[in-house]
Amino acid sequence: MRIILNTIAVTALLSLSLSSSVLADSKDKNPSFNARGASAAKHHKINTQPIKHGKNKKFNVQLGPRPYFLIEDMDDGKLKTALQQCSEGPFYKTDFSIGHRGAALQFPEHTKESYEAAARMGAGILECDVTFTKDKELVCRHSQCDLHTTTNILATELAGNCSVPPDYSSDKPFANVKCCTSDITLAEFKTLKGKMDAGNPDAKTLNEYLNSTPNWRTDLYSANGTVLSHAESIELFKALGVKMTPELKSPSVEMPFDGFSQQDYAQKMIDEYKAAGVKAKDVYAQSFNLDDVLYWIDNEPKFGRKAVFLENLNTEADLSGAISRLPLLVHEGVNIVAPPLWALVTLNAKNQIVPSDYAIKIKEAGLDIITWTLERSGLLKNGGGFYYQSVTDGVGKDGDTMVMLDVLAKQVGIIGIFTDWPATVTYYANCMKLK
């Protein structure tokens, strides 16, 4: 019988730097970018010292024990048997596996270490959620105002710069705390350390606030998370040999911000790929704001062809609006739509997971589908929460993750899925010979 290594021991391998096996040439090879891009590149060059790569080359994909654990947890059947037969690989990088903020199940999101772990697990596409700093430089953060939960800012002198700093005169000093990238400069941002996304608003002490990671995650790899500018993420992704899917995040500040308009913001994100010599075919620009996607289609058509419109669907009541929007998306030239995974599935009379009416209508409209997010729900014995809300009665064990994935891949026909632990999707995609 195969010996499966201890989870912690194998996962620890993922946190090792890839610098010995994945190298990059970070020199700018595009002399034609504009003065604004040149200024940004020069500024970022000063701030890339912690990130060292050499020449890009392939490295072995390592999945660790989790996919095997999930497969063994499945009910017996044809799918389980088929997946078991792939246990010895070979395993390789696949674009079907998209690293959601890296490997955020166990690594601090949007950090160098999280991205490296995701690439090691075979993610062919990595995501930088893009927002901006006080000096209008682009950085990787899920929200413009999440620094209090995703970094150590409250434990630094920069806490005083926060939009709403802790109120230590209160019994609950962190109840309203709010720290934004727009509160600090890029240079200040680069002094922070990424941590697991968590914060306890009822905490009475800073230590209690910071140490509130959900028990189904871990702080094992959060001691020294390296935060990145958007430009640094591009150089890292080039070194790792992966494609890129930046999401232009909705600003939390009023726009224009010090003369920086929404269109400037959308253009600056694309400019940084052009300045780095990244081909448009390797970039899936995303936004929940349809106007951003249409801006790229109209003004950067090469990038617009693979632009992704993210559907913000929170409950079943939102589906009718999404269905009615499909003709507009097609008419405006959108090619890829990305709803949350729950919106693409439902249960049949036998409580089996099947495609939803919405998923069927997306395919009938001729649109490609990417979905989000797998491995972000904790233990499925608890129902799966937001991402499984349409099929709660059809899931009851962690092994059902693979059933959901199989339905999305084979019956819905998605072209990729965001995941907080890319190894799970890589195993499935490689086994089913998906690209």
Q: What is the pTM of this model?
A: 0.88
Bridge partners, 340 (sequence order): 372
Ranges of H-type helices in 107-250 = 112-120, 147-150, 186-189, 206-210, 230-240
Which residues touch 27 (CB under 8 Å, ≥6 apart)? Answer: none
Q: What is the DSSP letter of 229?
A: B
Please report which confidence band the pLDDT of residue 58 belongs to, taking 50, 70 and 90 as the band edges: low
Helix (H) or strand (E) holding 265: helix 262-275
- Rounded to an integer, what is the distance from CA 325 to the centroid of its chain? 25
Q: Which of left, alpha, beta for 378 (phi over 0: left; psi -120 to 50: alpha)?
A: left
State both tokens at 369: 């589908």
State both tokens at 433: 């010979």
Could you report the per-residue pLDDT of 400-413, keeping only the tens digit for each? 999 999 999 999 99
Q: In this predicted structure, what is the pLDDT of residue 78?
A: 98
Instruction: Read off the pLDDT of each residue in 41-48 and give the average, rounded to a whole number.
Output: 36
Return d(Cα 98, Cα 266) in angstroms, integer: 22
Instruction: Read off the pLDDT of each residue in 368-377 and give the average, rounded to a whole number.
Output: 98
Percent of the chain with pLDDT over 90: 86
* Topology classification of domain 7-142+227-431: TIM Barrel (3.20.20)
Please report which confidence band the pLDDT of residue 435 belongs to, taking 50, 70 and 90 as the band edges: confident
SS (H, E, C) 334-374: CCEEECEHHHHEEECCCCCEEECHHHHHHHHCCCEEEEEEE
Return d(Cα 268, Cα 352) in angstroms, integer: 45
Return d(Cα 123, Cα 117) in angstroms, integer: 9
Q: In this predicted structure, what is the pLDDT of residue 155?
A: 98
Q: Closest by alpha carbon to 338, among 421, 250, 392, 415?
A: 415
Taking a C-beta distance cutoff of 8 angstroms, is the pair 251, 262 a contact? yes
Instruction: Read off the pLDDT of each residue in 56-69 and give the average, rounded to a whole number.
Output: 86
Q: In this predicted structure, what is the pLDDT of residue 194?
A: 98
Q: Is the dihedral of CA 358, 361, 363, 368 positive or negative?
A: negative
Q: Which residue has the tokens 């339905």?
A: 407
Taking a C-beta distance cutoff of 8 angstroms, is the pair 303, 311 a contact? no
